[in-house]
């Protein structure tokens, strides 16, 4: 089975999520593209079991729209760092009209593996969850090496004392502000979600 991947920023990723898939999914051929025209041309000439698309770049959005236009029944896994639906019309429209599943970056290879293997038997893990980014705090904080999220107490805290913590803390605060999640600073290493 063939998988087409469009990820313009694949080389910048923190994990090589495709090699993990290649080593564990027998019988799958993976074609990675970083150029939109090449990806569209290849998609038009071949049938793909699944298409993975980082839709958060302009080229990714264009490629996703083209794939949807050419084959609305295509199995698609959309990826990106944003806490947003890959359909501008929202999750309900996406569920009713397409065969898509969503994963958040950085890509967890195990989640990607399960999504590919069980695509037809699972629903989109993030369906209707982007309306309330607070529900996605666990996934959001996993992006940060030095911080964890205590869901029960609603506290984001540092796992250890390190020089890079301050930079990550400022980035977390920017993400929370970006998604309108209110918080207060408890100390130099912790934030309380309000």
What is the pLDDT, as a whole number, of residue 13? Answer: 73
Distance in angstroms (rounded) separating the CA atoms of residues 159 and 149: 10
Nearest to 15 by CA among 125, 140, 91, 110: 110
Structure tokens at 98: 């397409």
Non-local CB neighbours of 185 within 8 Å, separated by 6+ positions: 191, 192
For residue 119, is pLDDT > 90?
yes
What is the pLDDT, as a whole number, of residue 3? Answer: 94
Determine whether domain 2-121 maps to CATH 3.40.250.10: no
Q: How far is CA 163 from CA 82, 146, 166, 168, 187, in A?
A: 27, 10, 7, 10, 15
What are 88-116's pLDDT values in tens digits?
888 888 888 899 999 999 888 888 989 99
What is the pLDDT, as a whole number, of residue 14? Answer: 67
What is the pLDDT, as a whole number, of residue 99? Answer: 92
What are 6-53's pLDDT values in tens digits?
999 888 776 688 887 888 778 889 999 999 999 999 999 999 999 999
Tell me whether strands 183-187 and 190-193 are parallel, antiparallel or unpaired: antiparallel
Residues linked to residue 121 through DSSP beta bridges, in sequence order: none
What are 133-191's pLDDT values in tens digits?
898 999 899 888 889 999 999 999 987 766 677 888 889 999 999 999 999 998 878 89
What is the pLDDT, as a whole number, of residue 167? Answer: 84
What is the pLDDT, as a whole number, of residue 49? Answer: 94
What is the pLDDT, as a whole number, of residue 163? Answer: 65
What is the pLDDT, as a whole number, of residue 120? Answer: 93
For residue 132, is pLDDT > 80?
yes
Can you tell me the mean pLDDT for 49-59?
95
CB 121 within 8 A of CB 30: no
Collapsed DSSP state (helix, strand, coil) of residue 20: helix
Domain ranges of the chain: 2-121, 133-193
């Amino acid at each position: 089975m063939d998988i087409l991947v469009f990820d313009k920023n694949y080389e910048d990723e923190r994990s090589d999520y495709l090699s993990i898939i290649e080593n564990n999914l027998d019988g799958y051929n993976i074609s990675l593209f970083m150029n939109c025209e090449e990806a569209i041309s290849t998609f038009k000439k071949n049938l793909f079991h699944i298409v993975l698309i980082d839709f958060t770049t302009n080229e990714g959005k264009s490629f996703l729209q083209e794939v949807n236009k050419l084959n609305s029944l295509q199995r698609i896994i959309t990826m990106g760092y944003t806490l947003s639906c890959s359909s501008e019309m929202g999750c309900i429209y996406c569920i009713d009209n397409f065969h898509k599943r969503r994963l958040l970056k950085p890509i967890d290879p195990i989640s990607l593996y399960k999504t590919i293997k069980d695509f037809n038997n699972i629903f989109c893990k993030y369906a209707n969850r982007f309306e309330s980014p607070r529900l996605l705090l666990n996934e959001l904080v996993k992006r940060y090496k030095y911080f964890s999220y205590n869901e029960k107490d609603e506290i984001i805290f540092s796992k250890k004392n390190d020089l890079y913590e301050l930079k990550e803390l400022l980035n977390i605060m920017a993400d929370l502000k970006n998604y309108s999640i209110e918080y207060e600073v408890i100390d130099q290493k912790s934030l309380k979600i309000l």
